[in-house]
Amino acid sequence: MFHPCECGSGKTYAGCCGRLHLGAPARDEQALMRARYCAFCRGDEAYLRRSWAAETRPADLSLDPAQTWTGLTILSHETEGPDTARVRFTATWRRGARKGRLTETSRFRREGPGWVYVDGDLD
């Protein structure tokens, strides 16, 4: 049975974000953005921590199990240099009857063969 990846790529989880969650490096900042969104959807705190730059990673990352992420839209992406990039996105969520959206411009950096999330500015 086909189970699409939560990131909205149209691929299966195993053929998309699942590979990164198992340790494959993200080929670019957009792939990492999608994999991190998918990790939020799945409550994969370990992947979120591994994919976060050490100098900005929070000591505690408490995910809300009552919050369901319902969609990701990548609005823009910009390569700033060979090892830095930005992605602007909107993610939608639901918690009970409440619905909301989060729009952020995230900064990413290449480290070794993959990318890490550095930080972001909320709109």
Q: What average pLDDT does this structure show over 27-52?
A: 97
Three-state DSSP class for residue 78: strand
| Amino acid (1-letter code) at residue 37 | Y
Q: Phi then psi for 38, rounded to 5 degrees?
A: -60, -40
CATH numbers and ranges of domains, the chain: 17-122 (3.10.450.50)
pTM equals: 0.95
Three-state DSSP class for residue 94: strand
What percentage of the chain carries pLDDT values higher than 90?
94
pLDDT of 3 reads: 83
| 76 has a pLDDT exceeding 80 | yes
